[in-house]
Amino acid sequence: MSPGAVLRLAGFGVALLALIASAAWGALALGFKAGESTRRRRLCAAAWCSFALGALAIVLAGRAGAGLALYAVGFASLLAWWRRLAPCGTHRWADDVARLACGAAEGDRVTLFAVRDFRWLSPREYEARWEERSYSLERLRSLDMILSYWRGPAIAHAQFSFGFDDGEQVVFSVEVRRRQGEEFSEIGGFFKQFELCIIAAQERDSVFLRTNVRREEAYLYRVSLPPNALRSLFLAYVDEANRLEREPRFYHTIGGNCTTLVYLMMQRIVGRLPLDLRLLFSGYLPQYVYRLGALDGRYPFAQLHAAGRITERARASGGAAFSADIRRGVPGIEAPPPSRPGAPVG
């Protein structure tokens, strides 16, 4: 076979693979986003598959140019529709993500207009409560990273808890904003199924939900940040939540999630941070942070990891002293004073 024939065959193979891969992507995109009705989405996905198979049949019948040109027009139209899809922020949201962590700063005082403080009885039973709370940045003392593992060692949800000098804590959590009755799907997160939200919550809500209600394994690590960077990160969360209120964004399983959004905020505060695969596999985020020198370097990581497991302490607590209870024995953390339930900081 001549070199020219080999190149033509290789080019045909690449075009064929591109057609098949893009057709599969298109079927998933329509299957997740072509309307509210499940039946409509399935019909649109089936119609697209039929179109792609028809174009493929033309290619395999020896009319590659015509088949590929027809498919290219169809795929371009699909991409144009996809690019026009925009988040709206006005759906009937699930109760636990109904409000964003919006706030306002005046001097050193920050007011959060919706701090979640649910009382969880089961994953679907709860007493809903949202509070307006005020925090003094002068009294901000600590940052803790809390990882809860819900699907193997590589996949975890990361929350960041800010601590004040009287034991009060407020957790910021970047989450999927689900609609009423909607369930999370990792695949759907690639296809604009969900919007993005930032929730501010009490630890006895957000951490308790994952350890005691969903029965996830959780670990807590004290993060070392200079005071100015600590305050800047707190304000960055508030600014990002305010921005999401004005300009909704889609959640993305890799590109816009609980890890990548925090990474981008931290880059704006401390400068360039190294890229690492552990940013994609969030369960390994603590090792990445340890490598940066932001965890207590007096201990090997294995010791921080073992002592930072808060699962059993959380399940044995659940009361007003929940935040103090889960921190007992964590390296680098002195025994905090018990928080005052419902008392604002400052």
pLDDT digits (tens, 9 = 90+) for 210-224: 999 999 999 999 999
Q: Where are the domains of the chain?
A: 3-84, 95-327
- How confident is residue 335, by pLDDT bands cut at 50, 70 and 90? low
Helix (H, G, I), strand (E, B) or coil at 121: strand
Q: At what angle do helices 38-60 and 64-84 cross, to 10 degrees?
A: 160
What kind and span of H or E run contains 127? strand 125-127
What pLDDT, on a 0 to 100 scale, did the predictor assign at position 202? Answer: 96
Q: Say yes or no to pLDDT of 342 above 50.
A: no
Amino acid at 96: D
CA distance 203 to 322: 7
Which residues are 176's β-sheet partners? 196
CA distance 55 to 40: 23
Amino acid at 117: D
What pLDDT, on a 0 to 100 scale, did the predictor assign at position 324? Answer: 93
Task: Find where tokens 């939200």 sit.
Answer: 197
What pLDDT, on a 0 to 100 scale, did the predictor assign at position 338? Answer: 53
How confident is the model over 270-320, as pLDDT tens digits? Answer: 777 787 877 778 889 999 999 989 999 999 999 999 999 999 999 999 677
Longest CA–CA separation in the chain, Å = 81
How confident is the model over 254-265, as pLDDT tens digits? Answer: 777 778 888 888
Q: What is the mean pLDDT of the chain?
A: 88
What pLDDT, on a 0 to 100 scale, did the predictor assign at position 110? Answer: 97
Q: Which of 303, 301, 302, 232 is nearest to 271 (CA)?
A: 232
Among the ranges given (3-7, 163-167, 271-275), the one the predictor scored with the smallest mean pLDDT? 3-7
Helix (H, G, I), strand (E, B) or coil at 261: helix
